[in-house]
Structure formats: C-alpha cells, structure tokens
Amino acid sequence: MSDTPTPQATPATGDPQAPAAFGARLRQAMDTRGPLCVGIDPHASLLADWGLGDDVAGLERFSRTVVEALADRVAVLKPQSAFFERFGSRGVAVLERTVAEARAAGALVLMDAKRGDIGSTMAAYAAAYLDPASPLFSDALTVSPYLGFGSLDPAVELARASGCGLFALALTSNPEGAEVQHALRADGRSVAATVLGHLAERNAAERAAWQGQGRPLGSFGAVVGATLGDALAAAGGSLAIDGPLLAPGIGAQGATPADLPAVFGDAVGNVVPSVSRGVLRHGPDAAALRAAAAKIADDVRVAVK
C-alpha cells in the first residue's frame, strides 16, 4: 500500500466546480493504496485487549491510534457509529474528530451507520453524514433499503450533489438476513436482486453524466458478505451493478481473500474487502497495524488479479 495522498478525480459533470464523484475517487484510492477498507470498531472487548478503559478516553485513544497508523495508507476507513454513540454526546464528538482527521490524512471515510427511514427523517439522516457543512461529513454512508429503495431518494440526491457514495445492504452475512433478502417477489426476483437492480440504475444515471470521460466506478454500492458462497445465486446470477461491493467477513468471520472470486464472480474487480478485527487485533502497536493491513491488501490483490 502506498502512503501517498489519495488523488482527486475528475468531477462527474462538465462543471469544474462540481465535487468529484465518490466512485471515481474510490477507484483511484484502491488503485493507489490497495483494495482494502479497515473498520474502526472500538467495542468493549477490543478496548480491553488494547489495555484501554471502556470509556471516552479509551475510545479516543483507540480511534486516534488507528487513524494515525492507517489513514495515510489505506483506501477506506469505516468507523462504526454505534460504538461511538454508546458514549453519548462525548462519543459523537470523538467520532467527529475521527472522521475529520482520517479525511485530512487522505483516507476515504465510510460511515457505517446503516440509516434508513422515510421522507424528512431520511433527509435529516442524509444531511448528518453527506452534507459538507456537517461535522460528521463522510465520503460515503451505509444505508438500509428495507423501507423500499425509493425511501433512500433523499440520500441518493444529496450523495450526488456532494460527490459522496452510498452502500446499501443487499446480501449480508448474518443468517437472519436471508429471511428478507432471499425472499422472492411476485416477479420471481429476490429482494436482494431488486436492491442490486436499483443500484445499477443509479450508477447508470451517474455514468451518463460523465460526458464521454470514460467509464468510472459508480458511487452507489452494495454490501455483500464475503462469507456468502451462494451470493451469486441469491443475486439472480449477477453482482454487476457497475458500483463498488463492500465485502465484510474477511478474517475473524472466516472468509479469506482467496474466497472472493467464487463469491463475486465477474464483479470481483469492484470488491472492497472490509476487515476490522483481522487488523485491529494487532494494535495498539502502529507498525503491527500497518503490517497487518498491508498483508491483507496484498493478499486481495493476488486473489482478484
């Protein structure tokens, strides 16, 4: 992985003042720094393993250590909002600093908040994470489409305007997810395949706005567990949404980089493997965190080439 800053991409429209599209920035970051997303998941047991207290001071020390060790070299850092929110306003303040410092060091920040609602409430969630004026402004946000994909329209619209991305839950690795995601609609398609279809449509619309500037990665991605050997079947035979596929499950959950081609098929080149404990368990030593992240990114490169 490179320690050079993430390059900026060409804007997604002809307007030179328009923000660079997230998908294009993500592709550049993965090409430059390696195809890896590292989670920032300061749960109580991991704080204890690092010799830190389960309190705001421990939270801040943990988060700052991860950012200082990795933000100048990994493509994406993914703070899990819940582990900060559990400390109330002081925890959210730590999250704000974590996001700002990670982005300043060149990493793309994917806020793992899995927001999903309707109308003005969804618009407010979108503003919290996708409005450049917000102290929690991130490069991308995880969202839940299970109130109907159209309920996410406020987030889709603000993401486009702000040059941000979305990752919608599609085929998650938890066993409970199958009862909804694998369910069949009247037209014979699974719910997950329907979500993927909506994402493909949003990416096609974004691509049309590039005005002949190539075929960049779309900004609207899906969350698809790397542990799901049957992901292609559940997706209706294709994961080709022309957008990124966030793939949690490598490491502690049992998947390996070598599993990626079988799970993702022809779309494997758009996979963003997400690792948390597999890297974080090597802390608090910064060099060990860097070595662990570099090893996984190298293994992914070999597996998907």
Positions marked active-site = 114
**CA max distance for the chain:** 54
SS3 275: strand
DSSP readout, 136-202?
A: T--SEEEE--TT-GGGGHHHHHHHHHHT-EEEEEEE-SSGGGHHHHT-B-TTS-BHHHHHHHHHHHH
CA distance 47 to 220: 33
Render the burial of 50-70: b for 16+ CB within 10 Å, e for the rest: bebebebebbbbbbebbbebb
Helix or strand holding residue 296 (H, E): helix 286-304
| Strands in 67-160 per DSSP E | 76-79, 108-115, 140-143
